[in-house]
Structures are given as C-alpha cells and as structure tokens.
C-alpha cells in the first residue's frame, strides 16, 4: 500500500485523494502529532466561530493549509514536514480568528460612530426648539447638556474600540511575521538559506537537482522544489530570480548555456506547481560566479548549484 501511495504522489494526485485511499484501506494507524491535533482543533474552532462569516478568505486559507498538513501526515505520519505544515495550519486558523475579531471591532466602531452622528443631529434639533421657549428653554438646555455628555461618553467608547482594534491588528501582524519566520526555518531544513543584500538566497546543490551535464530535474529534485514552492506560496508567492551556476570544467560558453537551461528547468517546475510565471526570472552565470576554488573536487561541487533569490533587490 505504501508504494502505491508513493506512485500516486509522484503522479501529482491530490492530497485529498491520498488521504481517502489511506482511510479506505486502514493503512494509517499512526497517532497524529500534537501539532496536527492542535491545527484541527484551531480550525474547527475558527470554522464554528465568527471567522466563518467575517473572515471567510482567511478561513479558506487555513482550510487549505490543514489539508496540506493532513496530506503530509497520511503520506508520512512521522515526518517533520507533517509537523511543520500542521504548525502552519494552526497559525493560519488562529490568524482567521484574529481577522474576524478585527472585522467585528471595526463594525462595532462604525455603528458607534453612526449612533453618535445621529445623536448629534437630535441634539441640534432639541437646541433649536429650546430657543423658542422660556421656562422650558432652561430644562431643554439642561437635557441637551446631559445628552451631549452621553454623546461624549459614546465617542470615548468608540475611540477605545478603535484602539482595541488597532492593537489586535498589530498582534495579527506580529503573528504573521512569526509564521513567516517559521516558514523560513522550514526552508532551512531542505536547503541552504541565508539573507544577503540581493535578497533571501535559497541554494540547492546541482548534484541533488541534475545528473552530470544534464538539465532535466531528478525525481528527488522535484520533491525538494515542491517543498520550496509550498513555503513560497504560503508567503504570497513573492518575486523570484533563479540563477544557475557551474564549475569551470569545460568551455565557459557551454557552461553558461547549461546553467541557464538548469535555471529554466527549476522555473518551469515551480510554475507547474502553482507559482506565477510573471514573478520568476532566470539567468545563467556559468562559471563566472564561483563560491569556492575550482582547483579542488569539493570546490567544484560547491560551485555547481542553483540559487533561488526571493524578493531580489536587483535584476543581476
């Protein structure tokens, strides 16, 4: 059964179908990890709460994230990827709840402001009527002052609600940053990741991606790129520049062509799994930008690589 699921996965079947096959055959007897249990609980709570009507887009994002986590768990119950995806799904569900709370606060604020405006109109009418009377004028003016004080208190309440909504939005922003940092940590588990002036650089060894002298992706390369694509999509599919590099063995012209072909192969695969084509550019540097000495075997191996620059700061 395990080999059958693996074949379906390599064929690009959906995670939902894999989960159904596991459930039907009874093959998944493993207990779900704590992260997945928490993600399920968080999503259920969000789906049954105000988020269903006030933050449906964020709730749908949480649902998709949970589906990916369930798929990873069904495919490999004890994998770190299943835990990481479950953790992200839990964060997405909590974000949906936070977004719903923010939306409710904003609506409450708008209602309070509308009530205050209506009350002000009533006060003006009362004041005009009071000017036309004698004894009643003093009483009406007193009532108007009392109503004005009530309006002031309502306005203060509205300001308090607005401040509360601002704090909740700030908390949601910090939570989103924390999720982004968690996604970066997840990337570091499958590739070398570092922040440079040119952007966040994801480095993948050429030996892992391609056979020697070839530009066709190896099966293991597609698996790693799928993981990279999942994390990038969770971050809103940012702009990417894919750079191919080779060692100095052979002619520089042939190496530049090979490095560009390899960069294009990585780009085409990322597009095939859902990243937007208009946000991805490629360049082949060949042997022109080594990171190690080509005089040694180890140095040449380090120079044969593909780099994915996230949010590149330049076009070169």
Would 120 be classed as within a structural domain? no
Would 172 be classed as within a structural domain? no
Domain stop point among 76, 99, 122: 99
Average pLDDT over residues 63-83: 94
- Are 77 and 29 in contact by the 8 Å Cβ rule? The answer is no
Task: Look up the domain containing 223 and give its range.
Answer: 190-310
Distance (Å, rounded) from C-alpha 93 to C-alpha 19? 21
Would 110 be classed as within a structural domain? no
How many structural domains does the chain have? 2
State whether 194 and 306 are in the same domain: yes
Number of H helices, E strands in the chain: 11, 5
Distance (Å, rounded) from C-alpha 194 to C-alpha 157? 47
DSSP state of 308: E
Angle made by CA atoms 168, 174, 179, in degrees to the nearest 5: 125
Q: What is the CATH number of the domain that holds 300?
A: 3.30.1330.60
What's the pLDDT at 181?
Answer: 67
Would 316 be classed as within a structural domain? no
Distance (Å, rounded) from C-alpha 55 to C-alpha 94? 11
Name 200's bridge partners: 195, 310
State whether 200 and 305 are in the same domain: yes
Would 204 be classed as within a structural domain? yes
The alpha carbon dihedral of 5, 9, 10, 12 has a sign of positive
pLDDT digits (tens, 9 = 90+) for 16-57: 433 443 444 444 458 999 999 999 999 999 999 999 999 999
Domain stop point among 47, 66, 99: 99
Helix (H, G, I), strand (E, B) or coil at 215: coil
- Are 240 and 279 in contact by the 8 Å Cβ rule? The answer is yes
pLDDT digits (tens, 9 = 90+) for 131-141: 688 889 889 99
Helices 56-75 and 15-25: crossing angle in degrees, nearest 10, is 50
Would 40 be classed as within a structural domain? yes
- Out of 49-63, 206-220, 223-237, least confident range: 206-220
pTM: 0.45
Domain stop point among 73, 99, 125: 99
């Amino acid at each position: 059964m395990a080999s059958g699921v693996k074949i379906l996965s390599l064929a690009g079947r959906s995670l939902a179908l894999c989960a159904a096959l596991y459930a039907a055959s009874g093959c998944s007897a493993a207990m779900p990890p704590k992260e997945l249990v928490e993600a399920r609980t968080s999503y259920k709570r969000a789906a049954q709460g105000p988020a269903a009507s006030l933050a449906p887009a964020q709730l749908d994002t949480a649902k998709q994230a949970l589906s990916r986590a369930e798929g990873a768990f069904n495919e490999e119950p004890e994998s770190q990827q299943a835990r990481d995806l479950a953790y992200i799904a839990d964060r997405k569900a909590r974000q949906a709840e936070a977004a719903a709370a923010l939306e409710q606060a904003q609506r409450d604020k708008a209602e309070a402001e509308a009530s205050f405006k209506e009350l002000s109109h009533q006060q003006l009418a009362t004041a005009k009527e009071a000017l036309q009377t004698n004894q009643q004028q003093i009483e009406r003016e007193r009532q108007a002052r009392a109503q004005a004080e009530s309006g002031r208190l309502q306005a203060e309440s509205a300001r308090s609600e607005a401040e509360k909504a601002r704090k909740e939005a700030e908390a949601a922003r910090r939570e989103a940053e924390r999720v982004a940092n968690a996604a970066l940590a997840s990337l570091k588990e499958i590739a070398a990741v570092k922040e440079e002036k040119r952007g966040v650089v994801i480095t993948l060894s050429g030996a892992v991606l391609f056979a020697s002298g070839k530009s066709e992706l190896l099966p293991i390369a597609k698996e790693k790129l799928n993981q990279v694509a999942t994390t990038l999509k969770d971050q809103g599919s940012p702009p990417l520049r894919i750079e191919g590099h080779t060692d100095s063995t052979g002619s520089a012209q042939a190496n530049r062509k090979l490095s560009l072909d390899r960069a294009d192969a990585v780009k085409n695969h990322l597009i095939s799994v859902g990243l937007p084509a208009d946000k991805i550019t490629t360049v082949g540097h060949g042997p022109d930008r080594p990171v190690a000495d080509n005089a040694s075997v180890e140095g040449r191996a380090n120079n044969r690589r593909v780099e994915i620059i996230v949010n590149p700061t330049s076009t070169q």
